């Protein structure tokens, strides 16, 4: 029997007409998902983003043995100690029990900093990449590395997924080999004048890393970011920022124009006027500034140079759920600034 190409029975034609647009839509969604997942990589080479895996299979616990202690947020010391990233456990070891997991760039980016002196930082050997294509421009940080790949030097551009080093257990404090892991963060850089702030703190140790000290970064909720990428809900950092719920809003009265506002104009509701008198800043529960409204003299009245902070709004349900004792601390209907949030504000406003 001869088949005639390009013709279908009326029934098939009807089905195509009815389901064609639906199929097209489904292909489009699947395509976009693949695109997002293909552009953003889990920081361990060859591993998929763990969407539904139990966290004990992915996250390295601290000496407490609780996997939650390796997650992002106020997960240590009853919520008073903030962990700014996630600790990804080693799943590959050689016969001496040394990790062989390869660490890779999560997005295309430029090497901003490489610290090769493991003993000079609690991060041990670490690399920071700057992702200039993202809005806002974020940094990713890879810590406790055993070694850094050849050619990974400041200024070098890396492709997304490109190997930058080997997982390890380097740190000034020392981490046992059995708990070797990758400490991973994505975040914003708080100030260009980090050293001036550092000098005022009278820390016992010297800052060997300039503006690339980990304290100069405010991190986002890492695993939440990756899971949204894997679910196809987010294809870029810009998309992700739109999903971050506002937990509280502060008004900082000051006529200062911090460099943070100049480096992150996309977070501002409008171009900051030269006679700015205050900043209304929306924060996530973990203290990430997500949107900023500059206020002028006409809108506010006169402010002086030293910042004065007032809580304008808070989402009590969200804050009660996240129980962070180092960002905005709520109690008996009131609230106060926690230790980490105070540092973020000091660094942003340079006080
Ligand atoms: Zn960590």
Residue 211: per-residue pLDDT: 98
Does the residue 91 lie in any domain?
Answer: yes
- pLDDT grade, residue 17 (50/70/90)? low
Q: Do 255 and 209 share a domain, yes or no?
A: no
**Does residue 203 share a domain with residue 250?**
no
Cα(268) to centroid(ligand 1), Å? 30
Give distance in angstroms: CA of 77 to centre of ligand 1.
Answer: 14
pLDDT grade, residue 77 (50/70/90)? Answer: confident
Indicate if 66 and 196 belong to the same structural domain. Answer: yes
Q: Is the pLDDT of residue 1 over 70?
A: no
Residue 133: CB partners within 8 Å, gap ≥ 6?
A: 107, 108
Residue 243 C-alpha to ligand 1 middle, in angstroms? 24
Residue 43 resides in a domain = no
Residue 20 CA, ligand 1 centroid: distance in Å: 49
- Residue-by-residue DSSP string for 193-208: -HHHHHHHHT-SS---
Structural domain boundaries enclosing 154: 55-229
Is residue 315, in this structure, part of any structural domain at all? yes
Task: Give residue 88 CA to ligand 1 midpoint distance, Å.
Answer: 8
In terms of domains, do 317 and 275 share one?
yes
Give residue 34's pLDDT.
Answer: 45
Q: Locate all alpha helices (DSSP H) within the chain, ordered by sequence.
A: 10-39, 194-201, 222-230, 237-243, 259-263, 297-300, 316-322, 339-349
- Those residues whose beta carbon sits under 5 angstroms from the ion ligand 1 are 87, 183
Question: Where is pLDDT greater, at 129 or 79?
Answer: 129
65: CA distance to ligand 1 center in Å? 14
The rounded Å distance from CA 152 to ligand 1 centre is 22
Q: How far is the CA of 143 from the centre of ligand 1 (A)?
A: 8
* Same domain for 249 and 149: no
Is 32 within the bounds of a domain? Answer: no
Number of residues written out for the chain? 351
Question: Is 249 in the same domain as 210?
Answer: no
- For residue 24, being part of any structural domain is answered with no
**Distance from Cα 98 to the centre of ligand 1, integer Å:** 19
Residue ending a domain, among 229, 256, 285, is 229
**Nearest-angstrom CA–CA distance, 58 and 90:** 8
Q: Evaluate whether 42 touches 226 at the Cβ level (below 8 Å).
A: yes
* The domain boundary residue, chosen from 200, 229, 258: 229
The Cα 309–Cα 282 span in angstroms is 13
Domain membership flag for residue 38 = no
Decide which of 204, 229, 254 is a domain's last residue. Answer: 229
**Strand-strand pairing, 248-253 and 308-314:** antiparallel
Q: How far is the CA of 86 from the centre of ligand 1 (A)?
A: 6
For residue 87, give Cα distances in angstroms to 63, 83, 145, 172, 344: 13, 9, 12, 17, 22
Has residue 13 been placed in a domain? no
Q: Which residues contact 290 (CB under 8 A, 6 or more apart)?
A: 241, 244, 246, 267, 282, 283, 284
**CA 125/CA 203 separation, integer angstroms:** 21
Q: Are residues 262 and 175 in the same domain?
A: no
Q: What is the pLDDT of residue 74?
A: 83
Asked whether the CA dihedral 234, 186, 251, 314 is positive or negative, the reply is positive
* Paired tokens of 337: 């600034």
Q: What is the tally of structural domains in the chain?
A: 2
Q: Are residues 93 and 222 in the same domain?
A: yes
Residue 110 has pLDDT above 60, yes or no: yes
Distance 156 CA to ligand 1 centre (A): 25
Q: What is the pLDDT of residue 11?
A: 57
Rounded Cα gap, residues 214 and 121, in angstroms: 9
Q: Are 80 and 171 in contact (CB under 8 A)?
A: no
Whichever domain contains 115, its CATH number is: 2.70.70.10
Is residue 31 one of the residues assigned to a domain?
no
Residues 203 and 261 in one domain: no
What is the rounded distance in angstroms from the CA atom of residue 144 to the CA atom of residue 291? 32
How far, in Å, from the CA of 37 to the mean position of ligand 1?
Answer: 24
In the prediction, which pLDDT does 3 show? 40
Per-residue pLDDT of 22-48, as tens digits, reads 555 555 555 444 445 578 999 999 999
Phi, psi (deg, nearest 5) at residue 193:
-110, 45
């Amino acid at each position: 029997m001869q088949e005639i190409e390009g013709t279908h029975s009326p029934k098939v034609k009807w089905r195509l007409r009815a389901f064609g647009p639906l199929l097209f839509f489904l292909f489009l969604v699947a395509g976009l998902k693949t695109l997002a997942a293909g552009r953003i990589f889990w920081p361990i080479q060859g591993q998929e983003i763990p969407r539904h895996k139990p966290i004990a299979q992915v996250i390295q616990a601290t000496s407490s043995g609780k996997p939650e202690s390796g997650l992002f947020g106020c997960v240590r010391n009853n919520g008073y100690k903030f962990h700014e990233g996630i600790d990804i456990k080693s799943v590959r070891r050689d016969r001496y029990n040394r990790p062989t997991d390869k660490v890779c760039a999560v997005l295309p980016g430029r090497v901003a900093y490489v610290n090769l002196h493991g003993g000079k930082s609690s991060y041990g050997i670490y690399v920071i990449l700057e992702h200039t294509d993202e809005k806002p421009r974020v940094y990713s940080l890879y810590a406790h590395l055993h070694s850094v790949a050849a050619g990974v030097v400041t200024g070098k551009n890396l492709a997304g997924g490109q190997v930058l080093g080997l997982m390890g257990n380097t740190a000034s404090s020392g981490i046992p080999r059995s708990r070797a892991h990758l400490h991973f963060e994505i975040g914003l850089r708080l100030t260009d004048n980090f050293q001036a702030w550092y000098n005022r703190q009278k820390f016992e140790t010297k800052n060997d890393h300039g503006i690339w000290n980990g304290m100069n970064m405010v991190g986002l909720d890492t695993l939440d970011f990756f899971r949204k990428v894997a679910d196809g809900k987010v294809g870029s950092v810009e998309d992700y920022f739109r999903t971050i719920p506002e937990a509280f809003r502060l008004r900082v009265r000051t006529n200062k124009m911090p460099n943070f506002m100049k480096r992150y104009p996309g977070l501002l509701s409008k171009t900051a006027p030269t006679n700015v008198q205050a900043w209304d800043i929306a924060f996530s529960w973990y203290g990430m500034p997500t949107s900023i409204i500059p206020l002028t003299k006409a809108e506010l009245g006169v402010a002086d140079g030293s910042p004065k902070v007032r809580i304008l709004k808070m989402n009590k349900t969200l804050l009660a759920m996240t129980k962070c004792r180092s960002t905005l601390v709520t109690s008996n209907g009131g609230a106060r600034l926690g230790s980490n949030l105070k540092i973020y504000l000091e660094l942003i406003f340079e006080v």
